[in-house]
A and B are shown apart, each in its own frame.
Chain A
Amino acid sequence: MSSLHHPSDETLVRLAAGMLVGGPSIVVSAHLAGCAACRDAVGLFEAVGGVLLEQTAPSGDIPDGLARVRAAIERGPEPATTQRLPRRPPNLPNDIVWPAALGHSEFANWRWLAPGIRVSKSIDGELRLLRVAPGKSLLRHGHSGLEWTYIMAGSFVDGRARFRPGDICEVDGDIDHRPVIGDEEDCICLIAAEGNARPHGLIGRVHQVIFNT
């Protein structure tokens, strides 16, 4: 799965820096799992972080710091916390590759939003899975913040390009887009946003419902 559309460098820097957290970091990480070029870029930006750490002026000593660290080490590790099993939403096509980045996320059942459009929210509210029937379109909408969409199945065209499985569609406040789903199959996407979508029409309002319910 070789992607044509990647997160911006700025997004990759923020991920490396620990500044992209929550839903957006999961969506971008889903893309990274299949994109060696972006993994390399994040590795490079992490090394920039290492250099910035190295160049940070040391702050004052931590009182008894080393002794307290040694005592904690002597006490042994904390008991490992048990991990919950990831929960896929029901009725996903069998050939969908469930991103490892979603290992900690749990999703609710699909909800009907509009004809041909269903949504499943993650329990923590950070993520949305959107499933849209072939040929459907979402009305033009903009964003007050950044939004990342990772395509798991199907495709869509948003006036700029066609996005396919493995791709990331990153849009920000400057872009009004109107995704049109490809004819071949249902489009299943994983979406996270910073800020809220600004709808320009009915389905745009549906889009707002996706994020604000």
Chain B
Amino acid sequence: MNVLATHLDLRFTRQAFGFGAGRMSKANDPLAAEFDRCVLAVAASSDREAFAELYGHFAPRVKGYLARLGAPLNLAEDLAQETMITVWRKAAMFDPSRASASTWIFTIARNLRIDRFRREKAADTFELDPSEAQDHPPGADITMIADERDERIHSALGSLSAEQLTIVQLAFFEDRPHSEISRTLGLPLGTVKSRVRLALGHLRTLLADLQ
């Protein structure tokens, strides 16, 4: 799973994610709210146009995300397709007060990927499922909570140092991130652990009021 590492360096990640030049504050960003609305429309009325909009936005991103994780092209496409099928089937479980559409779809893709590895290993492990019962009926007012959180996370990531941003990203994209962090940032292995702790601590401090 370290294939990704060879593609990933600091300049690449900064540019790929375009921090600083990104979206406006959430209140002015209709895109996230629009995707929430699309999932709710699929849930409420099997809305095919809303689903096509979700597909057009998320299928290529899920595919790209999985490719960054080192998945071969056909597997990345396969899992992206499965992710979108699951979006359709489980749309009723989407709770916009708990997670934005992008976070919800991220967790679906993550779980499908884990499932796939589990089947390949024929091992039996626990499935994380964050999309269990809904506590609140979805509504426009609470929809904003998770979307605003995403926007805060977006700017928090943008305000991390280049080194700390890389550490956070490698934690997401690497099976065994320490050696990769050491290689990418030229840090001795012995100091990686404390740098990781600092980077994640900094991120949590920036986002403390969201928890």
A residues near B (Cβ < 8 Å) are 8-10, 13-15, 17-19, 21-23, 25-26, 29, 37, 40-44, 46-62, 65-66, 68-70, 72-73, 77, 101-106, 122-126, 172, 174
8 sample A-B contacts, Cβ–Cβ < 8 Å, listed by A number: A9-B201, A40-B211, A48-B168, A50-B99, A59-B64, A102-B126, A104-B125, A122-B124
Selected contact of B153 from candidates A14, A21, A47, A103, CB within 8 Å = A47
Question: Does B126 contact A53, Cβ atoms closer than 8 Å?
Answer: no
Question: Does A43 contact B99, Cβ atoms closer than 8 Å?
Answer: yes
In the complex, which residues of chain B have a beta carbon less than 8 angstroms from the beta carbon of A69?
Answer: 55, 59, 81, 84-85, 88
**Distance A59 CA – B60 CA, assembled complex (angstroms):** 5
In the complex, which residues of chain B have a beta carbon less than 8 angstroms from the beta carbon of A56?
Answer: 16-17, 61, 64-65, 68
**Distance A39 CA – B67 CA, assembled complex (angstroms):** 28
In the complex, which residues of chain A have a beta carbon less than 8 angstroms from the beta carbon of B52?
Answer: 66
Contact with A along B15-55 (1 / 0, CB 8 A): 01111001000000000000000000000000010001001
Does B100 count as interface, using CB distance less than 8 angstroms? yes
In the complex, which residues of chain B have a beta carbon less than 8 angstroms from the beta carbon of A123?
Answer: 124
Closest 4 A/B residue pairs (Cβ): A50-B103, A58-B60, A18-B110, A59-B64
Is chain A's interface secondary structure helix, strand, loop, or mixed overall?
Answer: helix
Selected contact of B61 from candidates A9, A54, A70, CB within 8 Å = A54
Does B200 count as interface, using CB distance less than 8 angstroms? yes
Selected contact of B126 from candidates A48, A65, A104, CB within 8 Å = A104
Question: Does A49 contact B128, Cβ atoms closer than 8 Å?
Answer: no
B residues near A (Cβ < 8 Å) are 16-19, 22, 48, 52, 55-56, 58-65, 67-68, 76-77, 80-81, 84-85, 88-89, 98-100, 102-107, 109-111, 113-114, 117-118, 121, 123-128, 130, 146, 149-150, 153-154, 157, 168-169, 171-175, 177, 193, 196-197, 200-201, 203-204, 207, 210-211
Is chain B's interface secondary structure helix, strand, loop, or mixed overall?
Answer: helix
Excluding A62-B81, A124-B124, 20 further A-B contacts by CB distance (< 8 Å) are: A14-B171, A18-B110, A18-B111, A18-B128, A19-B171, A22-B125, A50-B99, A50-B107, A53-B65, A54-B61, A54-B150, A56-B68, A58-B64, A62-B59, A62-B60, A62-B77, A70-B48, A122-B124, A124-B123, A126-B124
Closest Cβ neighbor of A102 among chain B residues:
B126
Question: Does A68 contact B81, Cβ atoms closer than 8 Å?
Answer: yes
Question: Does B85 contact A49, Cβ atoms closer than 8 Å?
Answer: no
Closest Cβ neighbor of B1 among chain A residues:
A19
Closest Cβ neighbor of A69 among chain B residues:
B84
Question: Does A17 contact B211, Cβ atoms closer than 8 Å?
Answer: no
In the complex, which residues of chain A have a beta carbon less than 8 angstroms from the beta carbon of B61?
Answer: 53-54, 56, 58-59
In the complex, which residues of chain A have a beta carbon less than 8 angstroms from the beta carbon of B68?
Answer: 56
